[in-house]
Structure 1
Amino acid sequence: MCDDGSVAGAAQAVPRQALGEAVDPIALEPVDEVEVTTLVDNVYDALLVGDERARRPGFTVGSADAPQFEGGRTAVGLVAEHGFAALVTVRRGPTTTTLLFDTGLSPDALVVNADRLGVDLTAIQGVVLSHGHFDHAGGLAGLARRLGPARMPMVVHPRAWTRRRLSVPGREPDELPTLSPRALDGEGFALLERREPSLLVDGSVLLTGEVDRTTEFERGMPPAHQAWTGTAWEHDPLVVDDQALVVHLRGRGLVVLTGCGHAGAVNIVRHARRLTGVPRLHALLGGLHLGGPWFEPVIGPTVTALTELDPALVVPGHCTGWRAQHALAAALPGAWSQGSSGSAFRLVAPAA
C-alpha cells in the first residue's frame, strides 16, 4: 500500500467504505478489567472529584524547592501541555499487562508526571504510537533515558516518519519535528511497523491499523497541513498513520482510546466495531480533534452519532476543543467525564 511514499499514493491506498462484516474479522479476546491513566493532557485540574469510574490525583502530588516559602519547599501538581500520553493496563484472569499509548509533547512531562503519580515506566511492556505528530512522540526522549539500554517494543505505522508542515497563508511555513526511526532504534526501541490491524497482549488489545473512512462529515485536516512527497509539499488531509487502541471489556463492549482521532471519532468507532464484530461501544477516551474553525462544523454530526452509540463513558481530551467538550457534556451528561493529566479511569467487567 502506497509504497511510492507519495501523498497521492496514500490517498489512493487509504481504506474505502466497506459495508457489512469484516472479511477477516479480528478475534479480540475479552478482558476483565481495563484502566486508562492519563499521564499527559492539555489540562490539569487539581479540584476534580473522583467517582466510581475516575480516580483523581490529590491537590498536591509532589514538592519542589522554593526558597520563598518557609522550609524552602512548595507543593506541586502535574504538568499539562499540548500533548497526550496514557498508560493502559488490561487484566484478563490473573494476567495483567501495561502499555504506554503516546508520550506527550515535551521530553520531560511524561517522566515528571509518572514519577509524581508513582508510575514505574520501566514496568511497561510496550509502547504504541497513535501517529507521528510530535505532540504524541516528544516524550520518547525522556522515556528512553528512563528505560536505559533495554529493548522496548514499539508499534508504529510506517508513515509516522512522514515529514509534515503547517503552511498557513500569509505566514512562513512551519515544518513540524519529524521522528527518526534510526534514532529511536539507537535509543533502544524495537520498532514494529504495521499498516494492518495488530493484536497485542495475547490477543486482548487491538491496534486498529489504517482506519476506514466511511462518514460523510469527517473530512480530515485542513489544506494548511501538508506532507513532503519526496519532490513537493502537498495537502495531507488523511494522516493515514492515525491508529486507535481497542479493548473488549467482557460483558460491556469496546473501550476505544484515540491519540488525536485524525481519522474521525465516528470512523474509528465504526472501524473497531466492524473489525471485532462487537456492536457495543462502552467507552471512548482521548483526543477527538474537533477544535478550531475547520473542525467546528463536524461537532454536530459527531455528537449526534456518538449519542446514538450511547457509550457509558466519554472522556474527550487533548485536541477535542472546548466547544466540542461542551456539546458532548450536554448531549451525554451521564457518560461525559472531564479529562486531566493524572486522571485514571477504571472499567470492570460485570461479575460472572
Structure 2
Amino acid sequence: MSTSSLVDLDSLEATILIDNDLDPMSPVPADTVEVTGLMRTLATSSPHDIHDRGDAHKELQMEDICCAAHGLSILVTATKDNKQHTILFDAGPEGDAWERNVKRLRPDLAAVEVVQLSHWHRDHSGGLQRAIEMITAAKKEANGTSSAPATIIDLHPDRPDYRGMAIGHNIISLQADPTFEELEAAGGVVQKHADAHTILDDFFFISGEIPRRTAYEHGLKGGMRFDAEEKDWFSDEGIADERFLMCRLKDKGIVMFTACSHAGVVNCAQHAVDSLDGEVPLHAIVGGFHLATSEASQMESTVRDLKRLDPAVILPGHCSGWRAKFAIERQMPGAMVPCSVGMRIKF
C-alpha cells in the first residue's frame, strides 16, 4: 500500500505508559528529543502542596512515580494545523499496571480515538479491557453524558487461541489474549485489519505484515500457538500478525513505533522507509527491539544495519535488553535515548 497520503505532522508527542524499564533520573542526550516526566518535572509539578515546612511548598510522593512492568503501552498524540489526534499503541500486560500508571501520569484519556494492538501477545494485550473501560469512562465524563464517542480497536484478525513458547522439551502457554467479544463488551468498536492502512485523517500509518529480508532476523525462537480445534501446538516463530505504527514529522522524517520487532527491527525500519519510497529519512525508532536474548552476532548485525539506516534518535524499550542499548550507544553515540516508563517525549 502506498503511504503517499500520510500527512506531514507539525508536532508529535508520546507518553510511555508501560515499559520494562524505569529511569526517572538520567538526562537524555542533547539534540534528540524533549523529555518531561523525569524526577525534576515530577517534583516541580507535584500536586501536593504543603504549608508547614518552611520554604518548601511542594511534596514529592513516591506514589506519583510510575512502575515498570513487562510489556509496552504508548500514548501518541499528533498535531497538524489546528487538528489533533490521539492513538493508544498497546496496553501492557495487565489492567492493574495500566490503570496505576495512567492515574499517576493523568493523560487525557478522553482524547483517545483509536487503540491499536501491535500483535497478539499477552504482554501487549493484557491491559486492553481496562484501558478501553477507562477511556470510555473518561469520554462520558468529558461529555457530561451517559454515552461516549466510539473508541475504535484496530486489531489483526488472526487471533491465536493461545500463544506460548517451547523451552527445551516443554511447551509453556501464555494467558489467552482478550477475545473480540470481550473487547467490544468493554466498550470498544472492533475493526480487523490484516493489510496496511492509514487512520485519523492520514495522521498515522499502521503496517500490514512486515517483509522478512535480513538473513539474521529469524522471528521469535521457540514461539508456539495452540489450535483449539486441532487440540495441538504448532510452531509460530514468525508472529506474522505484528504491525508497527508510524508517522511522518515535518522537517524531520519518519517516526516508527514498534512493539516487539519479532520480524526484526531492521526489517521493520526498512519497511517503514520503503513505504515512503525511500524519499523520507528515518528520524526515530521507538519501542521493543527483541534483542534481550539474541546471540552476539545477531546483535552486531542489527546495530550495524540500524547505523546504516541512520535514524537521528533511537529509543529502545521493553524487550530490547541492556546489551542492545549498550551496543547502540557505543556504535551510535548520542542517538540512544532509553525508553523509560513515565517519560513524555516530544520529537
- TM category (shorter chain) comes to 0.7 to 0.9
- 8 A Cα contact 1:54 1:343, kept in partner: no
Structure 1 CA distance, aligned partners of 2:200 and 2:296?
A: 37
Unaligned runs of 5+ in 1: 1-21, 65-72, 348-352
Q: Distance in 1 between matches of 2:241 and 2:335?
A: 29
1:227 is displaced (CA, Å) by 1.2
2: CA distance between counterparts of 1:87 and 1:298? 30
In 2, the alpha carbon distance for the partners of 1:173 and 1:235 equals 13
Other structure's SS at 1:37 match: strand
Q: Within 5 A, what are the aligned runs for 1:162-173? A: 162-171=161-170, 173=172
Q: In structure 1, what is the Cα distance between the partners aligned to 2:67 and 2:255?
A: 26
Is the alpha carbon distance of 1:63 and 1:134 closer, same or farther for their aligned partners in structure 2, counting shifts above 3 Å? Answer: farther
- The answer to which of 201-210 and 142-151 deviates more is 142-151
Q: Distance in 1 between matches of 2:115 and 2:106?
A: 19
**In 1, Cα distance between equivalents of 2:17 and 2:128:** 13
Matching of residues 103-114 of structure 1 within 5 Å: 103-114=91-102
The one-letter code sitting in structure 2 at the alignment partner of 1:55 is V
Which whole-Å deviations, capped at 9, do the CAs of 1:138-187 have from their partners, x for residues lacking one? 11132133124743101111123452112212445334323211111111
Alignment partners' CA distance in 1, 2:38 and 2:198: 35
Change (3 A) 1:186 1:74: same
TM-score (norm 2): 0.85
SS in 2 for 1:242: coil
Which digits, 9 at most, give the CA deviation of each residue in 1:120-151, with x for residues without a partner?
22221111111110111111132133124743
Q: Distance in 1 between matches of 2:203 and 2:69?
A: 31
2:205 corresponding residue in structure 1 = 206
Deviates more, 1:119-128 or 1:163-172: 163-172
Q: Give the conservation status (yes or no) of the 8 Å contact 2:313–2:335.
A: yes
Query: 1:7 — aligned with what?
Result: none
Residue type matched to 2:113 in 1? Q
Cα distance in 2, alignment partners of residues 296 and 177 from structure 1: 32
Matched, 1:153 2:155: no
2:185 is aligned to 186
Counterpart Cα distance in 2 of 1:43 and 1:330: 20
- Greater shift, 322-331 or 55-64, is seen at 55-64
Distance 1:242 1:125 in 2: 21
Partners of 1:287 and 1:318 within 8 A in 2: yes
Give CA-to-partner distance per residue, 1:263-291, whole Å, 9 cap, x none: 11111111112222234101001000011
CA distance in 2, matches of 1:279, 1:214: 20
**Aligned partners of 1:175, 1:114: CA distance in 2, in Å?**
25
TM-score normalised by structure 1 residue count: 0.83
* 1:199 CA drift (Å): 0.3
Letter in 1 for 2:204: V
Instruction: Answer whether contact 1:312 1:334 (CA < 8 A) is retained.
Output: no
- Out of 158-167 and 86-95, give the one that drifted further: 158-167
Moved over 6 A (4+): 61-64
Structure 2 CA distance for aligned equivalents of residues 115 and 39 of structure 1: 10
Pair 220,270 (structure 1): closer, same or farther in 2 beyond 3 Å: same
> d(CA) in 1 for partners of 2:234 and 2:320?
25
**Aligned runs of 1:208-223 on 2, under 5 Å?**
208-222=207-221
Which amino acid is the alignment partner of residue 306 of structure 1? L
**Aligned CA-pair RMSD:** 2.2
Q: AA paired with 1:287? A: G
SS in 1 for 2:314: strand
Letter in 1 for 2:223: H
8 Å Cα contact 1:49-1:56 kept in structure 2: no
User: How big is each residue's C-alpha offset from its partner over 1:280-317, in whole Å with a ceiling of 9 and x where there is no partner?
Assistant: 10100100001114x54321111001101111110000
Cα distance in 1 for partners of 2:125, 2:344 equals 21
Matched, 1:42 2:20: yes
Say yes or no: does 1:118 pair with 2:106: yes
**Partner of 1:285 in structure 2?**
286
Rounded Cα–Cα distance in structure 2 between residues aligned with 1:286 and 1:313: 12
What amino acid maps onto 1:270 in structure 2?
Answer: Q
Q: How many residues align?
A: 315
- How far the C-alpha of 1:108 sits from its partner, in A, is 1.9
8 Å CA contact retained: 2:86, 2:112: yes
Identity of aligned residues (%): 30
- Residue number among 118, 121, 130 corresponding to 1:142 in the alignment: 130
